[in-house]
Amino acid sequence: MSLFGRKNGPPPTAAAPAGKVTLPDGQSCTVDRIVDVLGDSCPRPQLMTKKALAESNPGTVIEILVDNPTSMEAIPTIMDNTGGVYLGTIKAERHWRVFVRKK
């Protein structure tokens, strides 16, 4: 990994649906897109989330895979400025799964 992102490996976003997920509030939804920013630090996760929202159609649910605590906490706060709605966060073993929806 380079200082500002990945040198090698898969691109940080994938268009393939990830399937259904049950959010912390009990609501179930289908994930339409995944943004993988594991190993990246601020501000890259926020920028990649903003980019994914800009490229998506209204109603699209995006899952952000993030392992940086500061970025995980910052993603919900940027939703007002990015045209998104924060849906919830699920803690996985070594990362967080943050879910947002395009307005």
Q: What is the 3-state secondary structure (H, E, C) of 28-72?
A: EEEECEEEECCCCCCCHHHHHHHHHHHHCCCCCEEEEEECCHHHH
Residues 86 and 100: beta-carbon distance below 8 Å = yes
Q: Report the pLDDT value the prediction gives residue 23, as an integer from 0 to 100.
A: 95
Q: Homologous superfamily of 13-102 in CATH?
A: TusA-like domain (3.30.110.40)
Mean pLDDT of 59-78: 97
Confidence band for 3, pLDDT divided at 50, 70 and 90 = very low
pLDDT in tens, 17-26: 568 999 999 9
Q: For the segment 71-83, what is each residue's pLDDT rounded down to a tens digit?
A: 999 999 999 999 9
Q: What is the pTM of this model?
A: 0.84
Are 49 and 86 a contacting pair, CB within 8 Å? no
